[in-house]
Amino acid sequence: MNNLERYIQNPHDARANFDLGCEYEDLGQTGAAISFYLRTAERAQDILLQYESLLRMALCFGKQKTRDDTQKVLLQKAINLMMDRPEAYFLLARAHERQEQWHEGWTMSSMALKICSWDHAPLLTNVEYPGRWALLFEQAVCAWWVGECEQSRRMMFELRYSHPLDNIHRNACDRNLQVCGWPRLNLPFDPGQADHIRCDFPGLRDLAQNHSQSLQDIFVLAANQGQREKWYLEVGSAEPFYHNNTALLETRFAWRGISLDINQAKVEDFGRQRRNTVLCQDATRTDYAALLAQYGAPRDLGYLQVDCEPPENSLRILMSMPWDRYRFAVVTFEHDYYADPGVRDRSREYLQKQGYELMAGDVAFDLTHSYEDWWVHPDLVDAAVRNQLRDLGTAVKPAHHYLFGTVKN
């Protein structure tokens, strides 16, 4: 007996309606399929069959390409029906991602990874959910566009090399890593190498650790010769300690400063753990002259960090600084040359016009991924110190090799 005959004999049977809907869908008649899936959802006593009928309706509307909102409503109903199953979360996250609704896609995939369990009975049909890794992929894609760029890189790397991806997603991870860059390695300060630093400074041998990702804090202290109670402006502060460039300055050298980040959760965490000022605001729209004046910053500060995503934003921020009113002994500028070669050259031309001197260009966390330039103001850093710090070779400079003559793998 075929599906149509079964339906004719018992038109109220939920499974008969579902199977007939599947047959129409296979024929490309999505309108008819939707009507039978709807009848299934209305008649089924089995909650799992109701759930799958909602998913199939959503997939049919997706194939029609004209009912995006209806598709999302159906997927949300499926989530409400079975909140610990992952398929509806994945389909909804994917729908948001394909429409460039990045925050919604991030939220949905993140919720699924926290809420769902992974040992459910299989569904009757293929609903295009390949496994838990697919939710990780959606989260990784959306993470980039909501500003969690380093997390996106780490997730893409982990997906590519630690999960059984299909060819489409494996190739997508390869492309994303090529364009966005690989996740950065951590380059901690090794107290045993203090005698090998290219420019010594007071207090170096009292340090047990640093906090920066690529020894930026050590460079800043070397250029400033370990001076205490100076000021910094940190644009793109991120975490309060992990990979943070100013934590060591504040906690061990009594520096004051202002930090900015656009991520509210990170700003709140920063505020709980750090003493100095942190603000949650869009760094591309900030009036830095007014900000520095408001907090009583001196004309000469010890350090400026500009580290935002994408690199074009960092360049906009750099060009909005009040260079005629404030000077910085050290500037570290993240240009992400490996991802956007044009920003590096424009930033160099601009900073040179402002009177700054490049000490180390193309600083990297490995042997290939140039991502940052380190500058000083010649009026604020002694010539002898500049001579020790200057390395204008064109090769990529792993931070450990530049500062200590070693490369950390």
Query: How is the chain split into domains, by residue range?
Result: 46-180, 191-404
Q: In this predicted structure, what is the pLDDT of residue 29?
A: 95
Q: In this predicted structure, what is the pLDDT of residue 409?
A: 41
According to CATH, what is the number of the domain 46-180?
1.25.40.10
Q: Region 292-305: what's the mean pLDDT?
A: 98
Interacting residues of 139 by C-beta distance below 8 A, sequence separation 6+: 93, 105, 106, 109, 110, 113, 155
- What percent of the chain is modeled with pLDDT above 90? 76
Name residue, tokens 């590096």. Answer: 344
Q: In this predicted structure, what is the pLDDT of residue 185?
A: 57
Each residue's pLDDT tens digit, 65-101: 888 899 999 999 999 999 999 999 999 999 999 999 9
Q: In this predicted structure, what is the pLDDT of residue 187?
A: 63
Q: In this predicted structure, what is the pLDDT of residue 408?
A: 46
Task: Give yes or no for a cis peptide into 310 (omega within 30° of 0).
Answer: yes
Question: Would you say 91 and 76 are in contact if contact means Cβ atoms under 8 Å apart?
Answer: no
Instruction: Please list the residues that pair with 374 across neighbouring strands.
Output: 332, 360
Cα four-point dihedral sign 130, 133, 135, 140: negative
- Measured distance CA(187)–CA(409) in Å, rounded: 9
What are 365's two structure tokens?
Answer: 């966390």
Each residue's pLDDT tens digit, 237-296: 988 998 899 999 999 999 999 999 999 999 999 999 999 999 999 999 999 999 999 999
Q: Region 46-62: what's the mean pLDDT?
A: 96
Interacting residues of 237 by C-beta distance below 8 A, sequence separation 6+: 244, 246, 259, 260, 261, 266, 267, 270, 278
pLDDT at 323 exceeding the cut of 90? yes
SS3 188: coil
pLDDT at 338 exceeding the cut of 80? no
- Measured distance CA(91)–CA(287) in Å, rounded: 42
Q: In this predicted structure, what is the pLDDT of residue 339?
A: 72
Each residue's pLDDT tens digit, 150-195: 889 889 988 887 788 899 998 999 888 878 877 765 667 888 889 9
Do 46-180 and 191-404 fold alike per CATH? Answer: no
pLDDT at 146 exceeding the cut of 60? yes
User: H-type helices in 116-209, by residue range?
Assistant: 132-145, 149-162, 167-180
Q: In this predicted structure, what is the pLDDT of residue 350?
A: 98
Q: In this predicted structure, what is the pLDDT of residue 43?
A: 93
According to CATH, what is the number of the domain 191-404?
3.40.50.150
pLDDT band at 365 (very low <50, low <70, confident <90, very high): confident
Q: In this predicted structure, what is the pLDDT of residue 242?
A: 84
What are 181's two structure tokens?
Answer: 């860059």
Q: Give pTM, 2 decimals.
A: 0.61
Q: Region 206-232: what's the mean pLDDT?
A: 95
What are 255's two structure tokens?
Answer: 């520096």
φ, ψ at 98 (rounded to 5°):
-65, -25
One-letter amino acid of 400: H
- Going by the DSSP 8-state scheme, the letter that residue 391 receives in this structure is B
Q: Region 337-354: what's the mean pLDDT?
A: 92
Candidate from 75-84, 306-315, 359-368 with smallest mean pLDDT: 359-368
Each residue's pLDDT tens digit, 25-34: 999 999 999 9
Each residue's pLDDT tens digit, 184-217: 656 678 888 899 999 999 999 999 889 998 999 9
Mean pLDDT, all residues of the chain: 92
φ, ψ at 229 (rounded to 5°):
60, 35
Q: What is the DSSP string of 240-305?
A: SSTT-SSHHHHHHH--EEEEEES-HHHHHHHHHH-SSEEEES-GGG--HHHHHHHTT--SEEEEEE
- 251 burial class (0-12, 13-18, 19+ CB within 10 angstroms)? middle
Which one has a higher pLDDT value, 275 or 339? 275
Q: Region 286-309: what's the mean pLDDT?
A: 97
Q: In this predicted structure, what is the pLDDT of residue 1?
A: 60
- Going by the DSSP 8-state scheme, the letter that residue 184 receives in this structure is P
Q: What is the DSSP string of 321-380?
A: S-TTT-EEEEEEEE--TTT-HHHHHHHHHHHHHTT-EEEEEEEESSSS-EEEEEEE-TTT
